Amino acid sequence: MRWLTVWIASAAGLAVITHLNLGVTAVSTESVIVAALVLGLVNTIIRPVVKLLTLPINLLTFGLFGLVINALMLWLVAAVVPGFAVAGFGAAFWGALILSVVSGVVGWVIRYA
């Protein structure tokens, strides 16, 4: 059940960042849903390895490098999912930051509603 909550929160976050005109675009609702699914898989499989490899940098920046990792994961999803695009690293960074906030809030609301 937790994976469904996380997936719904990610899909809601991706929908929000595509509507904010930050450089993250989606051609349809289906591409947002597929991007949320792929983002979940990327965060489950690839992100822990990247976080482990970048642990020294993450410690030096007091965890702020995690935002860069999130941006790279979002950029990777855009490269894989057709119909979902990220204009550049800056768009991926701001999109990942807003995605983290929105996903956290939506996940909290779903969990405690």
Q: How far apart are the first and last CA of the chain?
A: 15
Q: Which helix (H) or strand (E) holds 86?
A: strand 84-86
Mean pLDDT score, 26-36: 93
User: Mean pLDDT for the chain?
Assistant: 90
- 99's tokens: 């995605």
In the chain, where the domains are located: 2-112
Name the residue among 71, 60, 63 with its Cα closest to residue 95. Answer: 71
41-53 tens-digit pLDDT:
998 899 899 999 9
For residue 26, is it left (φ>0), alpha (ψ between -120 and 50) or beta? beta
d(CA 58, CA 21): 29
pLDDT above 90 coverage of the chain, percent: 65
Q: Give the tens place of pLDDT for each residue, 61-80.
A: 998 999 999 999 999 999 99
Cβ-in-10-Å burial (0-12, 13-18, 19+) of 112 comes to exposed
> How many residues are there in the chain?
113
